[in-house]
Structure 1
Amino acid sequence: MSTKQLAGGDERIVRRYEYDDSWVLAADVGLASEDVDVDVVGTTAIVVAETGDEVSEAEFELPGSEASVATNNGVLTITVEK
């Protein structure tokens, strides 16, 4: 397993873990799963988060297109198969 930490221009931190059969991207969004919506278009993940009256959006480039998404305890996890 290898690990890489990425920070965008707005200082959002995403950790990428590489395994033999997949990559896992994890971001601590601090929100419940019903407040986070993720769409994967090609190799781009589009994350929309709602906090009260405020909506924010972020995009992440993925290392592939076969992705599954989960949110658990405020952590967004995107798993991409190799």
Structure 2
Amino acid sequence: MNELQFADPDERFLRRYDYGDRWVVAGDLGVADDGVDVDVVGATAIVVVDTDRGVSEAEFDLPGTGAEVLMRNGVLTITGQR
């Protein structure tokens, strides 16, 4: 398993885990599920977070296409196959 970690300008940390045949990007965004909008376009994820402090947007490359997105209890999980 390989792991990468990165953060957007608002210091929300995401981690990427590589498991050979699949990969996972996960992070605790610390906001309500309905305050997050995630779009995956090809191998790019666009995450928009709306809080009482305003709206922030982060865009990052994924290691592949065809990703599935799950947002539950403030935790974002994006998974895909190699």
TM-score (norm 1): 0.85
Deviations 1:17-59 (A, max 9, x none): 1113211001221112111000011111000111136111100
1:64 equivalent in structure 2: 64
How many Å separate the matches in 1 of 2:28 and 2:60? 14
Aligned-residue sequence identity (percent) comes to 58
Q: Which ranges in structure 1 are unaligned for 5 or more consecutive residues?
A: none
TM-score (norm 2): 0.85
**Offset of 1:14 from its aligned partner?**
1.5
Asked whether the 8 Å contact 1:32–1:71 carries over to 2, the reply is: no
Q: Which ranges in structure 2 are unaligned for 5 or more consecutive residues?
A: none
The number of equivalent residue pairs is 81
CA root-mean-square deviation: 1.6
